[in-house]
Amino acid sequence: MFIKSKMKWVTLSLLILSLLSLLTHLSVTKFSTADLVQYSAMAGLRADFANVIGSPFSRNKKIWGVVKSLESLQPYANPRSSYPVPKERSNGFIYAKVFGGFANIRSSICDLVTISRLLNATLVIPEIQESTRSKGISSKFKSFSYLYNEEQFISSLKNDIMIVKSLPRNLKTRRNEFPTFRPKSSASPKYYMEEILPKLKEAKVVGLVLTDGGCLQSILPPSMAEFQRLRCRVAFHALQFRTDIQILGHRMLERLRGWGQPFLAFHPGLLRDTLAYHGCAELFQDVHTELIQYRRAQMIKRGIVNEELSVNSHLRRENGSCPLMPEEVGILLRAMGYPPKTIIYLAGSETFGGQRVLIPLRAMFTNLVDRTSLCSKKELYDLVGPETPLPLDLFQMPPAKSEEELKEEWKKAGPRPRPLPPPPDRPIYQHEKEGWYGWITEIDTEPDPSPMDLRMQAHRLLWDALDYIVSVEADAFFPGFNNDGSGWPDFSNLVMGQRLYETGSSRTYRPDRKVLAELFNITRDNMYHTKYNWTLLVREHLNKSLGEEGLTRQSLLSKPASFLSHPLPECSCRTSSPDIPTDVKVDNGRILYGGEDDCPKWMERGDKAVVSESAGKGGNFENELEYEIDVVELPESYDSGGKSNVTLVWDRDEEMDPND
């Protein structure tokens, strides 16, 4: 009896202790999460980062520092020799139609201005075909003004060429009678002087149709250096986006800077045309492979590609002809030492493969943002402007088959056992009515672009413009696919060229994809558990790509296709520096690295004034607190397996791929 009563008291005591322990845990959990719910996503993340690293955010010079060997580079595109003002009486008018996307348009306009100066012609504001009224854009914009500021363009180049908004009335009516040319992007100055100038003087008007992303060869003789500087003045000064785009772009920058830490911009470069041109279909899966192959077949038929339809994509990748996939870029950035909470801005209006190819990168860097994360729907709608509404449902179901047709299909179904009857009808989802979802499984030929497709192509120009502003101003830039050898200008090269022009010492990676493919082949089976020696090799290569080695390679591979991708040495100068680079030349005497003129004295004085001012404000970069990425321990709420209850802005993806 005594033993039973004693066991009851022990059991009761254990129950009471368990209850007290449970109440204690519940109270601790309540108090620890109370503050988290009261703050927004951004405020909560900023506070946790500040507690871990310290406030304000400090930079790690190893991953965010400037390239010291390029600090003496300064932008200097002013004329340096006899450069007369354009004559009031020109040889005639040049009007042009520009086809292609953002990069093609920007490069083509720069070439048009250069040609107008060469021929002493008056340039009519070019017509951008992607943003004409027929594409369904807002009626408040003209073709050129949909993207760029017309008044700024005309006033900035008044000392270079004469520009008018349209042809005179007496010439408009005869527009179809004037000679029209389709110059290639590799056309030489001699071609214009011998072929087009006589026609211009005779007819007074010449039309140009530009489809190759340019109309003048990239590398000009040294005697035409002033024309190269004119290209720089057009691209980096005269071609300013319209005011609405600039305001929203700088607002996006303010929101990114509001975190108090640097950010990196990444452009994947996964475009369907580029992938088809290089034969990179096998890097994707399912329908995406078919879409790339279909476009490649079209290019072969048109004579753009002179190869077989099916090629080994993995061999192309090892040759550096295929892009770095987002997963590989994430591994490279982690190897460089970028922490998992680094803010990465995803640039590019088109990422072929959808959100599926970005999943590994999002897993490695949770703060992967884009324009939809930083802008509200209203802000993007206001940028587009009021547009005529399109029909809501453009999809039409195929006509129903008659009973006789169904019986004939059943008889021709082949030997028994015959296939099972089709499953019951299911609803047609919205994503199956638009784009390639609507045709790839039904027909063998791609239909003509719908009104919605044409409008979206015009919208992509605006999205690329916003991404361009952010990418140029980013603390670091990493291209996924540049120097592809196709001869077409691309977004990444234009960004890299402007960053090199404006701030040569900015952190711009110029990776060699062939070298990186060899490194990935070494550790293909252990990509997420790489050895330390492999990490050192990656860091060595990427750090070298920031300086002389990367610039030399960029000049050798990229400049022949697009001068704007590497505007050195024509458009820059060097301030007095103890480290004067040794000129690197090729066999024909062209300078790959070095060769810049000395900056004028007024620029050096201004440079010294800026340095002294920053020193007075305590802005010495060398004295900033440096933190080591590998040592910092982040809170548990930011581990991959322990997310907080707060949903971050970039965790809400409104453009998910329906296949995911």
pLDDT at 22: 78
Band of residue 249 on the pLDDT scale cut at 50, 70, 90: very high
Q: What is the pLDDT of residues 180-201, one digit of tens each?
A: 999 998 899 999 999 999 999 9
Angle of the 102-119 helix axis to the 451-473 helix axis, nearest 10:
80
The mean pLDDT of the chain is 80
Structure tokens at 370: 């884009």
| pLDDT > 70 fraction of the chain, expressed in percent and rounded | 78
Structure tokens at 337: 């030492």
Phi-psi region of 414 (alpha: psi -120 to 50; beta: other; left: phi over 0): left
CA–CA gap between residue 28 and residue 44 (Å, rounded): 19
Amino acid at position 497, single letter: G
Among 524, 172, 144, smallest CA distance to 325 is for: 524
In this structure, what DSSP letter does residue 605 have? H
Mean pLDDT within 305-314 = 88
pLDDT at 135: 72
For the cut 90, the answer to whether the pLDDT of residue 72 exceeds it is no
Q: Which residues contact 536 (CB under 8 A, 6 or more apart)?
A: none
Of 49 and 594, which is predicted with more confidence? 594
pLDDT at 470: 96
CB 279 within 8 A of CB 311: yes
CA–CA gap between residue 480 and residue 368 (Å, rounded): 15
Q: What is the pLDDT of residues 160-183, one digit of tens each?
A: 999 999 988 888 777 778 899 999
Q: Which residues contact 493 (CB under 8 A, 6 or more apart)?
A: 103, 479, 482, 483, 558, 561, 562, 564, 565
CA–CA gap between residue 189 and residue 220 (Å, rounded): 8
Write the DSSP assignment of 236-250 as a string of letters.
III-PBPHHHHHHHH
pLDDT at 349: 85
pLDDT at 421: 63
Cα 605 to Cα 81, 503, 576, 601, 618: the distances in Å are 22, 17, 11, 6, 20
Amino acid at position 443, single letter: I
Cα 315 to Cα 311, 321, 428, 514: the distances in Å are 8, 9, 40, 11
Q: What is the pLDDT of residues 79-130, one digit of tens each?
A: 988 788 787 788 999 999 999 999 999 999 999 999 999 999 999 999 998 8
Mean pLDDT within 225-235 = 94
pLDDT at 621: 34
pLDDT at 96: 93
Give me the half-sphere count of Cα atoms (radius 13 Å) on the Cβ side of residue 240: 16
Amino acid at position 119, single letter: L
Q: Which residues contact 577 (CB under 8 A, 6 or more apart)?
A: 71, 72
For the cut 80, the answer to whether the pLDDT of residue 33 exceeds it is no
Residues of the chain with CATH 3.40.50: 93-240
CB 557 within 8 A of CB 485: yes
Highest mean pLDDT of the ranges 404-413, 466-475, 575-584: 466-475
Of 367 and 15, which is predicted with more confidence? 367
Q: What is the pLDDT of residues 500-533, one digit of tens each?
A: 999 989 999 999 999 999 999 988 878 788 888 9
Among 6, 655, 641, smallest CA distance to 354 is for: 655
Cβ neighbour number for residue 531 with a 10 Å cutoff: 11
Fold of 93-240: Rossmann fold (3.40.50)
In this structure, what DSSP letter does residue 544 have? H
For the cut 50, the answer to whether the pLDDT of residue 224 exceeds it is yes
Alpha helices in 54-205 (DSSP H): 61-64, 102-119, 150-156, 169-172, 189-191, 197-203
Residue environment code for 307-342, b if the CB has 16+ CB neighbours within 10 A, otherwise e:
eeeebebeebbbebbbbbbbbbbbbbbbbbebbbbb
Least confident of 201-210, 330-339, 398-407: 398-407
Q: What is the pLDDT of residues 593-626, one digit of tens each?
A: 888 888 888 776 555 444 444 444 333 333 333 3
| pLDDT > 90 fraction of the chain, expressed in percent and rounded | 42
CA–CA gap between residue 264 and residue 305 (Å, rounded): 35
Least confident of 182-186, 572-576, 587-591: 587-591
